[in-house]
A and B are shown apart, each in its own frame.
Chain A
Amino acid sequence: MPLSAAPDLTDTPLLQLSGIVKQYPGTLANDHVDLTIAPGEIHALLGENGAGKSTLVKIIYGVVKPNAGDIFWRGEKIEIASPNAARALGIGMVFQHFSLFEGLTVAENLALGMNEQRTRKQLRDEIAAIGARYGLQLDPSHNLADLSLGERQRIEIVRCLMQSPKLLIMDEPTSVLTPQEVDKLFETLRKLAAQGCSVLYISHKLNEIRALCEKATVMRHGRVVAHCDPRQETTTRLAEMMIGEMLTAPRPRLGLSPTALPCLEIDRLTIASDRKFGVDLKGVSFAVAKGQILGIAGVAGNGQTELMDALSGEVPSGKPSAVMIEGIEAGHMAPAERRALGACFVPEERNGHAAVPGMTLSDNALLSGYVRKALSKLGFINRPKTTNFAAEVIKRFDVRTTGPMSEARSLSGGNLQKFVVGREVLQDPKLLVVSQPTWGVDAGAAAAIHDALVQLAEADTAIVVISQDLDEIFSLCDSIAVIAGGVLSPVTRIADTTISDVGLLMGAAGGATETDASYRRNDAA
């Protein structure tokens, strides 16, 4: 690949880090890290959560200043004082946590990240041009608040591409794309690389890294433990380098007994979304038996949020019989009543939905556990019991934290997700609905979460996994349905379908939503 880049630069690396040290109170986030990225190279940065990847990337992007070490940009020693300086050098970054403003439109959000002024017209043209070139559809006039995670990520990617960067840093970019879209993105990235733009690609999806990247740097506990060519390694081998121990293969699933009784039955569930660009659920029907894991695949923003809200009871369903839990009509019930029936839920967004960032883990254990774990008596909180429950979740799910009294926001994403999933799993649910169980979570934590779900299913719990990660659904679930534009496809057994079949169903849906949205906009106008 370097051969196709500008010839005078082939010898000098685009970016070279040497001996980077970053000390945070209590932890050494980066311990003498070396990293070299050649022009036009797609370089993977691998590591578990807390391995120091984020810190390293923040140093490159000028958000964090290193305590020691040198940064060379095209052979010259430089200091990157701010993200602004990084952008001026030609470094663009797509963060895992988006830096977008809720109250602004797509175009306004894009305008905020740029170094030069542009008129609205120019901006629209540019967004359209980039969208067409890289297959990233965006309507500049949409309000951010109405967009799904997947659509928001597109904004971030387009924002970077608009600055024609020389180095593009991507933190977990594919978690919300369909397989076809992923292929398209990879095409985009390869195109970029061929034009001499390097890509630093951070992901936990080892298959993607093997498909896309030609070099990889593996980090563990703040140190670089290996450089390798991911195309030459197996996925297992890469994961082991990352985690530093041998991985056990996923436990084999016991076959589903054909006589299993249904635990959750959804009958023609139709709900108009109360959000401006939300997706209405149209006649969604499915059933999940005890011990069955049903995967619901789909591109972000096709009704998953609405379905999750309807299942958890945050939005009541039109008629009570639309949602049956354990044979009891529950469509009209509030979340607490559904929990009393044995249902537990893990919503997609950790911060501010599944957990309160500013509260302690103990308080967060109380948040959804107060019904099933009987953590209160006569309206008073049973503190010792609550704290014990939180401590049990922390212990059983290996949540890395200082204890039940630490605030939820002090945990890394993967750790908080383990806590949130653990909190629901340990309530012995009869039905568990999980949305994006491993979004932004490292391989080790994802394996732990998958393991817990499988164990739960073996204990006869019915599980619904709403996920955009097809690998996850195919490795975890017994059956699968695809949600597209608020319509759910018939449920098929995993064994009877293929990733590309499912991908086609998901992709067809994408077009449908697009038309739907524009249709609604015309109505409003």
Chain B
Amino acid sequence: MLTIIVTGLLFLMFGKPLLQSLDVFLIQPLTNDNGLAELGVKAAPLILIGVGIALASRANIWNIGAEGQYIVGAICGGGLALAMPNTPALVLYPMMLVAGVLGGMAYGGIVALLRVQFNANEILTSLMLNYVAQLLLIYLVSGPWRDPKGFGFPQTAIFSPNAAAPVLVEGTRLHLGVVFALVVAVIGWLVLSHTILGFQLRVQGSAPRAARFAGFSDKKLVWLAMLVSGGLAGLAGLFEVSGPIGQLTTTISPGYGYTAIIVAFLGRLHPLGVVLAGLLLALSYLGGESAQIELALPSAVTGIFQGVLLFFLLACDALILYRIRGADVGRFAGLKARFVSPKVAPL
């Protein structure tokens, strides 16, 4: 709500009529079938990645590297598509799916290895690996994998039809990935709330010593969380290049890996909440595009909307969970806060 107000004010600052802008940004994208299909297309990678991040974050394992895992998944699956374009779709596409997942898992696995063996902070390593992945992608599409008939553009050949994600509704871009996203969200929810595994993740996140007492291995959980969230990010990347994009380019992700972090937290780290959050942020992508076209606003609007949303989310959490004391208590505010505030970690 606060986000909408601030975004609206921002539109006003750009000299655009308030209601019309919000209408273009938030409502119009939903008013036709194709818009809804596009919403699904944008939401699918966000949900896939978001569920993975939500599961890992429940165990206090912060995977900021979904962007890189997404890219590596896309490279692995896409490379397979380029290598054997004539293999029948029924054989090729499942292989690509597996390659995408394995690629993401391997890339997430690097982070897990560094954390378990060398106690390296996973936030830093996973974030840094994003840039490695992005540069690898640029090298591949502008070097060895460049389309010989592509007039020198840094992109690969268009994938063969055998390597295209099956489309669900004729005439739209709604592809198999949307189904996968929903299935993954449901499985994620089942795992988290009904299995020992999910229980381990939750205990690890809220009381690491209790997890040790119960006999849960934190190393195994780090591996698991990174492999699962990495694999899901890789799967999302594969769907994106084999679906809406259809080839590897330097810009296969509009920051899905980062936006999915917002999705995970907006969804309260709950896999089903992630679905709703994914839809909302997908809408911000669509709204950003239509704002560019109809209102001539810069595409940064999307990023601003997402940023403002996360800011208010975290700020509201802090305000709900902690009480603000007036300045008159001076330097003892902190001391006193310990007596009045419940001991709840933010998020």
Give A83 to B202 CA distance when docked, in angstroms.
36
Query: 12 extra interchain contacts, Cβ-Cβ under 8 A, other than A312-B213, A335-B214?
Result: A82-B329, A83-B339, A84-B332, A99-B339, A335-B213, A339-B215, A352-B207, A354-B213, A356-B203, A357-B206, A380-B195, A381-B194
Give A367 to B335 CA distance when docked, in angstroms.
33
A39 to chain B, nearest CB (A): 27
Give A370 to B215 CA distance when docked, in angstroms.
10
Question: Is B336 positioned at the interface, with any CB of A under 8 Å from its CB?
Answer: yes
- Report yes or no: A63 in contact with B339, Cβ–Cβ below 8 A: yes
Give A391 to B336 CA distance when docked, in angstroms.
37
Which residues of A (64-93) have their CB < 8 Å from a CB of B?
A: 82-84
Interface string of B179-213 (1 = CB under 8 A from A): 00000000000000011110100110011011011
Q: Would you mind naming 12 contact pairs between A and B with Cβ atoms under 8 Å apart?
A: A63-B340, A82-B336, A83-B335, A313-B215, A314-B213, A334-B217, A353-B209, A353-B213, A356-B206, A367-B210, A376-B195, A381-B194
B195 to chain A, nearest CB (A): 5
A353 with B329: in contact, given A82-B336, A313-B215, A339-B215 (CB under 8 Å)?
no
Question: Is B149 positioned at the interface, with any CB of A under 8 Å from its CB?
Answer: no
Q: Which residues of chain B have a CB within 8 Å of any CB of chain A?
A: 194-197, 199, 202-203, 206-207, 209-210, 212-215, 217, 329, 332, 334-336, 338-340, 343-344
Give A370 to B214 CA distance when docked, in angstroms.
9
Question: Is A363 positioned at the interface, with any CB of B under 8 Å from its CB?
Answer: yes
Question: Is A140 positioned at the interface, with any CB of B under 8 Å from its CB?
Answer: no
- Report yes or no: A359 in contact with B215, Cβ–Cβ below 8 A: no
Q: Which residues of chain A have a CB within 8 Å of any CB of chain B?
A: 63, 82-84, 99, 112-113, 312-314, 334-337, 339, 345, 347, 349, 352-359, 363, 366-368, 370-371, 376, 379-381, 383
- Report yes or no: A349 in contact with B209, Cβ–Cβ below 8 A: yes
Give A84 to B326 CA distance when docked, in angstroms.
14
Give A312 to B338 CA distance when docked, in angstroms.
32
Contacts of B196 in A (CB 8 A): 370, 376, 379-381
Give A365 to B117 CA distance when docked, in angstroms.
32
**B212 touches which of A63, A314, A371 (Cβ 8 Å):** A314
Contacts of A359 in B (CB 8 A): 202-203, 206
A349 to chain B, nearest CB (A): 7
A367 with B209: in contact, given A63-B339, A63-B340, A339-B215 (CB under 8 Å)?
no
A226 to chain B, nearest CB (A): 30
**A353 touches which of B210, B339, B344 (Cβ 8 Å):** B210
Contacts of B332 in A (CB 8 A): 84
- Report yes or no: B217 in contact with A355, Cβ–Cβ below 8 A: no
Contacts of B209 in A (CB 8 A): 349, 352-353
- Report yes or no: A367 in contact with B336, Cβ–Cβ below 8 A: no
- Report yes or no: A379 in contact with B217, Cβ–Cβ below 8 A: no
A380 with B194: in contact, given A82-B329, A347-B213, A353-B213 (CB under 8 Å)?
yes
Contacts of B197 in A (CB 8 A): 379
Question: Closest residue to A95 on the B side, CB-wise?
Answer: B339
**B335 touches which of A112, A357, A368 (Cβ 8 Å):** A112
A99 with B338: in contact, given A82-B329, A357-B207, A376-B196 (CB under 8 Å)?
yes
- Report yes or no: A356 in contact with B210, Cβ–Cβ below 8 A: yes
Question: Closest residue to B202 on the A side, CB-wise?
Answer: A359
Question: Closest residue to B217 on the A side, CB-wise?
Answer: A334
Question: Closest residue to A115 on the B side, CB-wise?
Answer: B332
Give A383 to B193 CA distance when docked, in angstroms.
10
Contacts of A380 in B (CB 8 A): 194-196
Give A351 to B181 CA distance when docked, in angstroms.
37
- Report yes or no: B199 in contact with A363, Cβ–Cβ below 8 A: yes
Contacts of A356 in B (CB 8 A): 203, 206-207, 210
- Report yes or no: B195 in contact with A381, Cβ–Cβ below 8 A: yes
Give A82 to B197 CA distance when docked, in angstroms.
45
- Report yes or no: B210 in contact with A336, Cβ–Cβ below 8 A: no
Question: Closest residue to A352 on the B side, CB-wise?
Answer: B207
A368 with B214: in contact, given A363-B199, A380-B194 (CB under 8 Å)?
yes
B344 to chain A, nearest CB (A): 8
- Report yes or no: B195 in contact with A379, Cβ–Cβ below 8 A: yes
Question: Closest residue to B197 on the A side, CB-wise?
Answer: A379
Contacts of B334 in A (CB 8 A): 112
Question: Closest residue to A312 on the B side, CB-wise?
Answer: B213
Question: Closest residue to B203 on the A side, CB-wise?
Answer: A356
**A368 touches which of B206, B207, B213 (Cβ 8 Å):** B213
The 9 closest A-B pairs by CB, nearest first: A335-B215, A336-B215, A356-B207, A352-B207, A353-B209, A367-B214, A376-B196, A314-B212, A63-B339
Give A352 to B194 CA distance when docked, in angstroms.
22
Contacts of B213 in A (CB 8 A): 312, 314, 335, 345, 347, 353-354, 367-368
Give A314 to B338 CA distance when docked, in angstroms.
30
Give A113 to B207 CA distance when docked, in angstroms.
28
Give A354 to B206 CA distance when docked, in angstroms.
13
B190 to chain A, nearest CB (A): 9
A115 to chain B, nearest CB (A): 8
B319 to chain A, nearest CB (A): 19
A353 with B336: in contact, given A312-B213, A339-B215 (CB under 8 Å)?
no
Question: Closest residue to A349 on the B side, CB-wise?
Answer: B209
A262 to chain B, nearest CB (A): 24
Question: Closest residue to A366 on the B side, CB-wise?
Answer: B199
Contacts of A99 in B (CB 8 A): 335, 338-339
B204 to chain A, nearest CB (A): 10
A515 to chain B, nearest CB (A): 29
Give A313 to B332 CA distance when docked, in angstroms.
42
Question: Closest residue to A58 on the B side, CB-wise?
Answer: B339
Contacts of A371 in B (CB 8 A): 215
B257 to chain A, nearest CB (A): 29
Interface centre among B194, B195, B215, B334 (most CB of A within 10 A): B215
Give A334 to B343 CA distance when docked, in angstroms.
30
Give A367 to B343 CA distance when docked, in angstroms.
21
- Report yes or no: B210 in contact with A352, Cβ–Cβ below 8 A: yes
Contacts of A312 in B (CB 8 A): 213
A278 to chain B, nearest CB (A): 14
Contacts of B195 in A (CB 8 A): 376, 379-381
Interface centre among A312, A337, A339, A380 (most CB of B within 10 A): A380
Question: Closest residue to A112 on the B side, CB-wise?
Answer: B335
Question: Closest residue to A369 on the B side, CB-wise?
Answer: B214
Contacts of A335 in B (CB 8 A): 212-215
Contacts of A358 in B (CB 8 A): 206-207, 344
Question: Closest residue to B209 on the A side, CB-wise?
Answer: A353
Question: Closest residue to B198 on the A side, CB-wise?
Answer: A381
- Report yes or no: A367 in contact with B329, Cβ–Cβ below 8 A: no
Give A256 to B142 CA distance when docked, in angstroms.
81
- Report yes or no: A353 in contact with B215, Cβ–Cβ below 8 A: no
Contacts of A352 in B (CB 8 A): 207, 209-210
A142 to chain B, nearest CB (A): 21
B328 to chain A, nearest CB (A): 10
Give A395 to B146 CA distance when docked, in angstroms.
71
